[in-house]
C-alpha cells in the first residue's frame, strides 16, 4: 500500500513555503488520514510518522548531532569507509554517491577532502537532503565541506548511463538494506523511510552502471551478513561489526 503523505507548516510564517513544497512534490496540504507529515519547522524540513508509533521527526543536520560527532571524532581517514573508498593523506578521490539518502556518508567523505556528487531519486528524501545542505552551507565551520558536495535529484542509473561530465574516480553505493524481521534494530531514519522507499530492487542494474562508469573502483555498503549484489564478483570486502564494504576493483588509484 502506498504511504499517504501530507505537507504542513508548524508555524504560520512558513505556510507559503509549505504550499510551494507541496506543489513541487505533488503532495496535499490537507490530508486528514495521512501516514506521514512533511513538516516545515523552525529547525528546517522534517519528516514525521503519524499515528501510534513513537518515532520523533527525521531531518538532515550536518552541523549538530551524530554527523558532527563523527566528523570530529570518528577517526578520519582511518575509518573503514575511507579505506574502502581509497582515501588517505595523499589521495582524495572524485566520488559519485549513487544512493545519497540522508547524505551522512557523503558528508564524511567530503569532510576528508573529497569532491562528491550525490544522487537521490526519491523526491521526498531529496527535499530533506537539499534542505540540510542549504542549512549546512550557512554554518561557517561546515560550509567549506558542503561546498565539495553537489546534489542531483534524479535516477542514478539513467544519469550514469548518460554521463556527460568528468568521470568519477570512485562510485559509492548504499542500496536500501534487505528487509529485516527485527525492525527495532534498524536506525530511526531507515525505519521511517522503508514504507516510502521500499527495497532497491534494481540494485544489480545500479551496480552494472556504476562499474561501467567508475575509473578506479566501485564500493557497495551492505549489511555484514547480507549476500552480495547479483552481478560480477567483488574483489574483496572490508567487514565491520554490522556492515561491510564490497570493493569492485578496476585499476589502482592514483593521485
Looking at the structure, tell me whether residues 37 and 136 fall in a common domain: no
What is the C-alpha to C-alpha distance for residues 133 and 59, in angstroms, rounded to an integer?
Answer: 11
Whether residue 84 is found in the same domain as residue 33: no
Q: What's the chain's average pLDDT?
A: 90
Is there a single domain that holds both residue 146 and residue 213? yes
Residues in contact with 145: Cβ distance below 8 Å, sequence separation at least 6, in sequence order: 62, 71, 107, 110, 111, 136
Total domains, the chain? 2
Is 58 part of a structural domain of the chain? no
Nearest CA to 169 out of 222, 115, 101 is that of 115
Name the residue among 126, 16, 132 with its Cα closest to residue 68: 132
CB under 8 Å to 103, separation ≥6 — which residues?
Answer: 60, 62, 118, 129, 132, 133, 149
Q: Higher model confidence: residue 250 or residue 255?
A: 250
Q: What is the CATH number of the domain that holds 227?
A: 3.40.50.150
Burial of 130 (0-12, 13-18, 19+ CB in 10 A): middle
Angstrom distance (rounded) from CA 90 to CA 198? 38
* Ligand-binding site membership of 148 (annotated): no
**What percent of the chain shows pLDDT beyond 90?**
71
Whole domain around residue 13: which residue ranges? 5-49
Give per-residue pLDDT as tens, 117-170. 999 999 999 999 999 999 999 999 999 999 999 999 999 999 999 999 899 999
The reply, when asked if residue 230 is annotated as ligand binding, is no
Same domain, 21 and 126: no
Distance between CA atoms of residues 247 and 118, nearest Å? 19
Model pLDDT, residue 52: 61
Q: Are residues 86 and 177 in the same domain?
A: yes
Pair (101, 182) in one structural domain: yes
Q: What is the DSSP letter of 114?
A: -
What does the pLDDT average to over 242-251?
A: 95
Per-residue model confidence as pLDDT tens digits over 184-210: 445 666 667 777 776 668 999 999 999
Residues 40 and 122 occupy one common structural domain: no
pLDDT score, position 183: 46
73-85 pLDDT tens trace: 777 788 999 999 9
Decide if 6 contacts 95 (C-beta within 8 A): no
Kindly state whether residues 15 and 133 are assigned to the same domain: no
Share of the chain above pLDDT 70, in %: 91
Co-location of 111 and 31 in the same domain: no
Give the per-residue pLDDT at 126.
95
Residue 189 labeled ligand binder: no
Domain of 13: which CATH number?
Answer: 3.40.1630
Could you tell me if residue 103 is inside a domain? yes
Q: Is residue 169 part of a domain?
A: yes
How high is the pLDDT of residue 76?
Answer: 79
Query: Is residue 56 in a domain?
Result: no
- The answer to whether residue 126 is domain-embedded is yes
Amino acid at each position: 500500500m502506498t504511504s499517504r503523505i501530507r505537507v504542513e507548516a508548524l508555524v504560520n510564517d512558513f505556510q507559503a513555503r509549505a504550499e510551494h513544497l507541496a506543489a513541487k512534490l505533488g503532495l496535499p496540504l490537507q490530508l486528514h488520514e495521512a501516514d506521514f507529515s512533511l513538516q516545515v519547522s523552525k529547525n528546517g524540513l522534517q519528516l514525521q510518522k503519524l499515528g501510534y508509533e513513537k518515532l520523533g521527526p527525521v531531518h538532515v543536520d550536518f552541523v549538530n548531532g551524530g554527523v558532527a560527532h563523527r566528523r570530529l571524532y570518528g577517526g578520519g581517514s582511518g575509518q573503514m569507509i575511507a579505506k574502502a573508498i581509497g582515501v588517505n593523506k595523499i589521495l582524495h578521490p572524485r566520488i559519485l554517491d549513487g544512493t545519497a539518502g540522508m547524505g551522512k556518508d557523503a558528508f564524511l567523505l567530503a569532510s576528508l577532502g573529497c569532491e562528491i556528487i550525490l544522487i537521490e531519486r526519491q523526491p521526498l528524501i531529496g527535499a530533506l537532503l537539499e534542505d540540510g545542505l542549504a542549512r549546512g552551507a550557512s554554518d561557517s565551520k561546515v560550509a567549506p565541506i558542503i561546498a565539495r558536495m553537489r546534489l542531483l535529484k534524479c535516477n542514478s542509473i539513467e544519469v550514469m548511463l548518460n554521463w556527460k561530465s568528468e568521470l568519477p574516480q570512485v562510485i559509492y553505493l548504499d542500496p536500501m538494506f534487505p528487509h529485516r524481521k527485527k525492525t527495532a534494530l534498524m536506525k530511526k531514519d531507515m525505519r521511517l523511510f522503508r514504507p516510502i522507499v521500499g527495497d532497491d530492487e534494481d540494485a544489480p542494474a545500479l551496480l552494472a552502471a556504476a562499474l561501467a562508469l567508475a575509473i578506479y573502483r566501485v564500493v557497495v555498503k551492505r549489511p555484514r551478513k547480507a549476500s552480495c549484489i547479483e552481478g560480477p564478483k567483488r574483489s574483496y570486502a572490508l567487514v565491520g561489526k554490522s556492515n561491510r564494504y564490497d570493493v569492485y576493483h578496476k585499476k589502482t588509484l592514483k593521485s
